[in-house]
Amino acid sequence: MEQNKNLFSDFKNVYFIGIGGIGMSALARYFNNLGFKVAGYDKSASDLTNKLEAEGCQIHYEDLGEEISNEFKNKTTTFVVFTPAIPEDMKELVYFISNEFTVYKRAEVLGILTRQSKGLCVAGTHGKTTTSSMLAHILDHSSWKCNAFLGGIATNFNSNLVLSETSDWTVVEADEFDRSFLKLSPFSSIVTGVDPDHLDIYGSIEQFNEGFRQYAMKIDPSGFLVEKEGFNLPTLAKKVSYALHSETADYSMNNLVFRDGFIFSDVRLKTNFWQNVKLGIPGSHNAENALACIALLDSLGMSELEIRNGLSSFTGVKRRFDYQIRTEDLVFIDDYAHHPNELKVLIESVRNLYPNKKITGIFQPHLFSRTRDFAMEFAAELSKLDELILLPIYPAREEPIYGISSAWLYSKVELPKKFLLSPSEALQYFNQFDKGIVLTIGAGDIDKIVAPLKEILSSNLTTAE
Percentage of residues in the chain having pLDDT higher than 90: 77
Tell me whether residue 249 is in a domain.
yes
Count other C-beta atoms under 10 Å from residue 65's C-beta: 12
Q: In what order do the strands lie in the sheet with 13-17?
A: 58-60, 37-41, 13-17, 78-82, 102-105
Contact at 8 Å (CB) between 237 and 225?
yes
pLDDT value at residue 5: 45
What does the pLDDT look like over 40-56, one tens digit per residue? Answer: 999 889 889 999 999 99
Q: Which helix (H) or strand (E) holds 333?
A: strand 330-335
Q: Do 443 and 359 lie in a common domain?
A: yes
Contact at 8 Å (CB) between 157 and 146?
no
Q: Which helix (H) or strand (E) holds 335?
A: strand 330-335
Contact at 8 Å (CB) between 314 and 148?
no
pLDDT value at residue 465: 62
Confidence band of 26 (pLDDT split at 50, 70, 90): very high
Q: Do 91 and 235 lie in a common domain?
A: no
User: What are the beta bridge partners of residue 277?
Assistant: 265
The CATH number assigned to the domain holding 7 equals: 3.40.50.720
Confidence band of 200 (pLDDT split at 50, 70, 90): low
What's the rounded Cα separation, in Å, for the pair 99 and 101? 6
The chain-wide mean pLDDT, for the chain, equals 92
For 51, the 3-state DSSP assignment is helix
DSSP 285-331: HHHHHHHHHHHHHHHHT--HHHHHHHHHH---BTTBSEEEEE-SSEE
Q: Do 284 and 239 lie in a common domain?
A: yes
Q: Do 450 and 404 lie in a common domain?
A: yes
Contact at 8 Å (CB) between 426 and 406?
no
Tell me whether residue 393 is in a domain.
yes
Domain total of the chain: 3
CA 361 to chain centre: 20
Q: Do 331 and 451 lie in a common domain?
A: yes
What's the rounded Cα separation, in Å, for the pair 324 and 25? 24
- For the four alpha carbons of 394, 397, 399 and 401, in that order, the dihedral sign comes to negative
Tell me whether residue 112 is in a domain.
no
What does the pLDDT look like over 60-101, one tens digit per residue? Answer: 999 999 999 999 999 999 999 999 888 889 999 999 999 999
What's the rounded Cα separation, in Å, for the pair 174 and 165? 23
Residue 51 belongs to what domain range?
2-105
* CA-to-CA dists, residue 370 to 85, 367, 378, 442, angstroms: 16, 5, 10, 12
What's the rounded Cα separation, in Å, for the pair 3 and 447? 38
Q: Do 348 and 386 lie in a common domain?
A: yes
pLDDT at 2 over 60: no
The CATH number assigned to the domain holding 301 equals: 3.40.1190.10
Tell me whether residue 111 is in a domain.
no
What does the pLDDT look like over 429-462, one tens digit per residue? Answer: 999 898 999 999 998 999 999 999 999 999 998 8
